[in-house]
A and B are shown apart, each in its own frame.
Chain A
Amino acid sequence: MPVLSILLVRLLTTAITLAGVAVIVFFVIRVVPGNPIAMMLPPGATEEDIARLSALYGLDKPLVTQFGIWVSGVMQGDFGTSITTRQPVLDLVLGRLPATLELSIMALVMAMILGGAAALTGTRFRGGRTEGAIDVANGMALSVPDFLWGLVLILLFGVLWPVFHISGRVTPSLDLPFTTNFYLFESLIRLRFDLWADIVAHMFMPALALAIPLAAIIGQLLKQSLKETMNLDYVTLARTKGYGETRVILREALRNAALPTLTLVGVQFTFLIGGTVIIERLFSYEGLGNMAIDAVINRDLPLIQGIVILFAVIFTGVNLIVDLLYTVLNPRLRHA
């Protein structure tokens, strides 16, 4: 199949997936007990007040009509109005998205550095105690999920040796000159390294907690394919030229061993983004996930819908890009 038709098929299945997510989230959250309108009014509100406000948010119409109104709004970029804050859902969600993106990307970079270092060290000293130690550490990192690593990090670097901040995104008393919500990125651009250091000190632990399980996966897979590559003829050739082991690994083997790992990293990255929900909660980090949990607790239906759809768009988008990249990079698959 040519690349174009693969692209079309993938786009179609992605659209079906997103539609499915929209249907499920819309109807599931409407089964939630507890009237959101009654919750936002003061205790003395009359039935009439509740009815009037329900009509204002369109919650008095039949479910299918509500769904139709919501979908046609979404098509035009209107995700409705948050019930708790009375602001447009899209503004709220896009305001929080940069925080979550920065956290996820920082975690991804950390995972690649940690996992890459583990794999390279393990390959360099393969067959010995060092490799054994790395395997054990990898196994532990892999078995324990990000939530528990977050708690362990809080104990280590928040209590035992308090070097990092355990909550928030930035110290609240600081004066922020930013125009976008990409604090980490913008502080670098503006050369405000004092702010940058503060932001990193807040992000370090949540990002590391998210990074540890992914680092283990990268470490394991990359080491495996590095070791396989090390037995190939062209690597032996490089050795006979008299290059040292370290140079052979870095300059010859790594380039070829990296591709299978990279494709896996794409899929795993969506799991990492999913993990931000609870990690942001744990570290009181003001991102999308934290807002999502608040939205569920407050029964803010339009906001929940908006956040879930955004997550679904990110997940399917990442998967789509990875698939297409893989097809482009690996010609054998184009004809499959």
Chain B
Amino acid sequence: MHEARAIDGRSLVRRRAGLRLWLSAGWLGLLCVATLFAPWIAPKDPLAQDLFLGRLPPFWMAGAEPGYWLGTDSLGRDVLSRIIHGARVALAVALIAGTITCLVGATLGLLAGFLRGWVDMVISRLIDIWMAFPPVLFSILLIAVLGPGLWSIIIAIVVIDWTRFARVVRAEAMAQGAMDYVASARVAGRGRLGTMMREILPNVLPTIVVLLTLEMGIAVIVEAILSFVNLSISTDDPTWGGMISEGRTSVHQAWWVLVFPLVTLFLTVLAFSQLGEGLKDRFDPVLR
């Protein structure tokens, strides 16, 4: 009876994991569509101001104007259109910053964990130093140095977050490096670089993929935080963080200006991390 329940539980876990994998992938796919076709999907011009249409409520409330589905902000800009256009910045930051951070961090972690010796010592000390910085303050400092803009945000994320990959990949590479198959590959005549790329890397790759999806969610948040302290892209381009920051100041007069971009951001971050968790379950041999 005990066993039957265990098997049941396992299939339940798998079904739930499959569901959340598809839900998150679906939401992220929707965002990709919004990013690619924003000018055609968005019902209004995201930058068009109309002071006579300021702070219109969403469509189901009294006083709503047809066409402005999720209402307008204090300058009369359409909230829905701004969210759709804001997806462009969010996804661009997630994909580009996430990928570069992953490449830099995973490479350094792999080198440190496999080569050991002085390489490991230098990289480990760097990680220690990086971990002693408060990350949000570090990113704000970097943006102050680099000036606002999409690429500044991406560089700041890479500079700060490479340690997330380096720490985990280093530990994994060390564990893999101690295993017999690595020793036998060396005996069979593979060089150090070959062993690292052909033997260690494939075994660390699942971990890297999971970390990458998590990092993409983090990148979206960092962009929002920087917009919130007014250090992100130029103030014209709609970003979710910028909308949230504006919404926060007028939350008592027009809650929808805060709520809709917040819900979008919330779902996106949740989708990235659930995608990561779902992939982890797929890769995890214990659950399979």
> Binary interface profile of A, 115-158, with partner B (CB < 8 Å = 1, else 0)?
00000000000010000000000011011110110011011001
B137 touches A311 (CB 8 A): yes
A166 nearest in chain B by CB position: B251
Answer whether A148 and B265 are a contact pair too, CB < 8 Å, given A28-B141, A127-B5, A139-B274: yes
A279–B5 alpha-carbon span in the complex (Å)? 44
A159–B225 alpha-carbon span in the complex (Å)? 21
Q: Which of B95-103, B128-136, B175-183 contacts A (4 or more CB under 8 A)?
A: B128-136
Task: Decide if A82 is an interface residue (CB 8 Å cutoff).
Answer: no
Task: Decide if B29 is an interface residue (CB 8 Å cutoff).
Answer: no
Interface centre among A25, A31, A143, A148 (most CB of B within 10 A): A143
**Interface bin, chain B:** 35 or more
User: Which residues does chain B contribute within 8 Å of A273, judged by CB atoms?
Assistant: 134
User: Which residues does chain A contribute within 8 Å of B217, judged by CB atoms?
Assistant: 143
A319–B273 alpha-carbon span in the complex (Å)? 27
A144 touches B132 (CB 8 A): no
Please pick, from B125, B140, B266, B274, the residue contacting A20 in the complex, using a CB distance under 8 A: B125
Q: Which of A10-18, A168-176, A187-195, A251-259 contacts B (4 or more CB under 8 A)?
A: A10-18
Task: Decide if B270 is an interface residue (CB 8 Å cutoff).
Answer: yes
Interface centre among B134, B144, B145, B248 (most CB of A within 10 A): B134
Answer whether A158 and B251 are a contact pair too, CB < 8 Å, given A273-B134, A308-B133: yes
A30 nearest in chain B by CB position: B145
A60–B136 alpha-carbon span in the complex (Å)? 30
Task: Decide if B142 is an interface residue (CB 8 Å cutoff).
Answer: yes
User: Which residues does chain B contribute within 8 Å of A293, judged by CB atoms?
Assistant: 137, 140, 229
A159 touches B255 (CB 8 A): yes
Answer whether A148 and B221 are a contact pair too, CB < 8 Å, given A140-B270, A143-B274, A158-B251: yes
Answer whether A13 and B128 are a contact pair too, CB < 8 Å, given A278-B228, A281-B229: yes
**Interface bin, chain A:** 35 or more
A20 touches B129 (CB 8 A): yes
Number of residue pairs A-B, CB distance < 8 angstroms: 129
User: Which residues does chain A contribute within 8 Å of B137, judged by CB atoms?
Assistant: 274, 277, 289, 292-293, 296, 307-308, 311
User: Which residues does chain B contribute within 8 Å of A109, judged by CB atoms?
Assistant: none
User: Which residues does chain A contribute within 8 Å of B9, judged by CB atoms?
Assistant: 127
> Binary interface profile of A, 271-313, with partner B (CB < 8 Å = 1, else 0)?
0011101100110000001001100110100001001100110
Task: Decide if B269 is an interface residue (CB 8 Å cutoff).
Answer: yes
A75 CB, nearest partner CB in chain B, Å: 18
Answer whether A311 and B266 are a contact pair too, CB < 8 Å, given A17-B129, A29-B145, A296-B140: no
B136 touches A144 (CB 8 A): no
User: Which residues does chain B contribute within 8 Å of A13, judged by CB atoms?
Assistant: 125, 128
Interface centre among B129, B248, B273 (most CB of A within 10 A): B129
A319–B132 alpha-carbon span in the complex (Å)? 10
B255 touches A277 (CB 8 A): no
Task: Decide if A244 is an interface residue (CB 8 Å cutoff).
Answer: no
B255 nearest in chain A by CB position: A159
B145 touches A32 (CB 8 A): yes
Answer whether A145 and B244 are a contact pair too, CB < 8 Å, given A28-B142, A28-B145, A289-B134: no
B224 touches A147 (CB 8 A): yes
Task: Decide if B252 is an interface residue (CB 8 Å cutoff).
Answer: yes
Task: Decide if B258 is an interface residue (CB 8 Å cutoff).
Answer: yes
User: Which residues does chain A contribute within 8 Å of B270, judged by CB atoms?
Assistant: 140, 143-144
B125 touches A151 (CB 8 A): no
B251 nearest in chain A by CB position: A159
User: Which residues does chain A contribute within 8 Å of B131, judged by CB atoms?
Assistant: 270, 315, 319
A-B contact pairs, 8 of them (CB 8 A): A16-B128, A17-B129, A24-B129, A24-B133, A139-B274, A143-B273, A159-B255, A304-B141
Partner-B contacts on A (CB < 8 A): 13, 16-18, 20-21, 24-25, 28-29, 31-33, 127, 139-140, 142-145, 147-148, 151-152, 154-155, 158-159, 270, 273-275, 277-278, 281-282, 289, 292-293, 296-297, 299, 304, 307-308, 311-312, 315-316, 319
* Other contacts beyond A152-B266, A296-B141: 14, CB < 8 A: A24-B133, A28-B141, A28-B145, A33-B147, A144-B270, A147-B221, A148-B221, A151-B244, A151-B262, A159-B251, A293-B229, A311-B137, A312-B132, A319-B131
